[in-house]
Amino acid sequence: MTHYSPAKLEWRDGQPYASTFQDVYFSSDNGLLETDYVFLQGNALQSRWQTLNTPHFTIAETGFGTGLNFLSAIKLWLEVAPATAMLHYISTEKHPLSLQDLTSALALWPTLAEFSDHLLENYEKLLQGNQALDLFQNRVCLSLLVGDATTQLRQIHGAVDAWFLDGFSPAKNPDMWQTELFQQIVRLSAVGSTFATFTSAGHVRRNLAAAGFNTQKRAGFGKKREMLQGILMSKADAR
């Protein structure tokens, strides 16, 4: 049994809001479009998956939250990736939502309902331990690692193809955006791995650049001025 402190969540104008962090789970402009813009487009997933020539692809995420990024990614994956390939989605979450809050949050996205149902059915089992969940005839495998992102990433091996760096803004959640997080990211990346994040905080960009990522600023979604995305050019500085 995994022990964790659950999310403290409020509902503001029908949208989930994290009381502890004083931050939103996703843009109040449109969370679904934000996910597509920041994380899916920021990692060029559609074109990479249409031309995928490996049997699997791995995404890792900091901050599973409501699962919106996960569900949007698997929808795109099932639409465009080769039917024989498997998506491994690894996500970390320090303060999981209750099943009730998750159900309310996912009800906001009717276009994801056929995918959300699978997550909701298995959610409480997923929270009990770090077990993987196979979905859609093994085309998707979800590993939900309950705990702090850096602590959880420290314990895994393998190569991540695309990073979804979520997890509330660095100003509101400085504990997560520490130097070791970036060290774990580069340890688990290969040349060609990409990242995307809604934040354009200077220290996030500098840490990713120091780790070997070629970072690029792009217009942010909604009210956000800028976001960051990038690709790992070399692992020379990796520890």
Ligand X SMILES: C[S@@+](CC[C@H](N)C(=O)[O-])C[C@H]1O[C@@H](n2cnc3c(N)ncnc32)[C@H](O)[C@@H]1O
- State the binding string over 105-144 for ligand X (x if CB under 6 A, else -): ----------------------------------------
Please state, in angstroms and rounded to a whole number, the distance separating the CA atoms of residues 89 and 141.
6
Residue 176 beta carbon to ligand X: minimum distance, rounded to whole angstroms: 4
Side-chain-side CA neighbours of residue 71 (13 Å): 24
Q: 112 or 231: whose CB is closer to ligand X?
A: 112
Three-state DSSP at 100 gives helix
Whole-number CA gyration radius for the chain: 17
Q: Which of 86, 142, 149, 228 binds ligand X (CB under 6 A)?
A: 149
Three-state DSSP at 23 gives strand
CB 16 within 8 A of CB 66: yes
CB 141 within 8 A of CB 133: yes
Q: Which of residues 41-100 bind ligand X (CB under 6 A)?
A: 62-63, 65-69, 92-95
Element of type H or E holding 70: helix 68-80
Q: Which of residues 1-40 bind ligand X (CB under 6 A)?
A: 7, 25-26
- Which tokens is 186 given? 């580069």
Q: Is 173 in the site for ligand X (CB under 6 A)?
A: yes
Q: Is 176 in the site for ligand X (CB under 6 A)?
A: yes
Q: Is 220 in the site for ligand X (CB under 6 A)?
A: no
Q: Which residues bind ligand X (CB under 6 A)?
A: 7, 25-26, 62-63, 65-69, 92-95, 148-149, 166-168, 173, 175-176
